């Protein structure tokens, strides 16, 4: 070992080609470095939280879509039943009217108006359920 290596850090700093750094500067640099590491850690935690929140939002959306689909199926079944009922009534009325198409038309209009009102209310309920939240 050379005598320069034995002398300590001042010689090592001179060997590297830079001036010796004071203790205060070295301490300040260390604090800055720790602050940067802390910020990096905070950024990582924020990203992790965002990913978790995103997954939760997606899961909630999937559950909401599932509920809306089930509700839509139920409402569609109700409208289809109204349609079948309208067809049955129309057949009954047309057979009973024996050629009086005015009565058949009035009865059919009433049946279709009822079915249309049901369908409109179903559509409105679905729209409201989509805009809730």
Instruction: Measure the CA–CA gap between 37 and 27, rounded to whole angstroms.
Output: 15
pLDDT on residue 99: 63
**Which tokens go with 126?**
């679905």
**61-81 burial, b if ≥16 CB within 10 A, otherwise e?**
eeeeeeeeeeeeeebeeebee
**Which tokens go with 65?**
């879509």
- pLDDT per position as a tens digit, 9-57: 555 555 566 678 889 999 999 999 999 999 999 999 999 999 999 999 9
**Which tokens go with 122?**
């179903």
Verdict on whether the full-model pTM lies above 0.75: no
Q: How far is CA 95 from the centre of its chain?
A: 54
- Cβ atoms within 10 A of the Cβ of 20, count? 14
**Which tokens go with 117?**
């009102």
Instruction: Measure the CA–CA gap between 9 and 5, rounded to whole angstroms.
Output: 8
Of 44, 49, 18, the residue nearest 36 (C-alpha): 44
- pLDDT per position as a tens digit, 69-123: 998 899 889 888 888 888 887 777 777 666 677 777 777 788 888 888 888 888 8
Instruction: Measure the CA–CA gap between 21 and 9, rounded to whole angstroms.
Output: 10
Instruction: For the chain, give every domain's residue range.
Output: 22-131
For the packed helices 101-131 and 23-97, what is the interaxial angle rounded to 10 degrees? 170
């Amino acid at each position: 070992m050379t005598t320069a290596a034995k002398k300590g850090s001042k010689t090592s700093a001179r060997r590297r080609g830079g001036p010796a750094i004071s203790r205060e500067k070295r301490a300040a640099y260390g604090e800055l470095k720790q602050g940067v590491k802390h910020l990096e850690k905070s950024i990582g935690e924020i990203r992790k939280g965002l990913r978790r929140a995103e997954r939760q939002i997606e899961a909630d959306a999937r559950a909401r879509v599932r509920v809306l689909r089930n509700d839509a199926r139920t409402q569609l079944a109700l409208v289809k039943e109204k349609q079948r009922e309208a067809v049955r009534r129309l057949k009954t009325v047309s057979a009973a009217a024996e050629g009086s198409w005015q009565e058949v038309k009035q009865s059919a209009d009433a049946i279709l108006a009822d079915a249309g009102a049901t369908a409109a209310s179903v559509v409105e309920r679905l729209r409201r359920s989509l805009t809730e939240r």
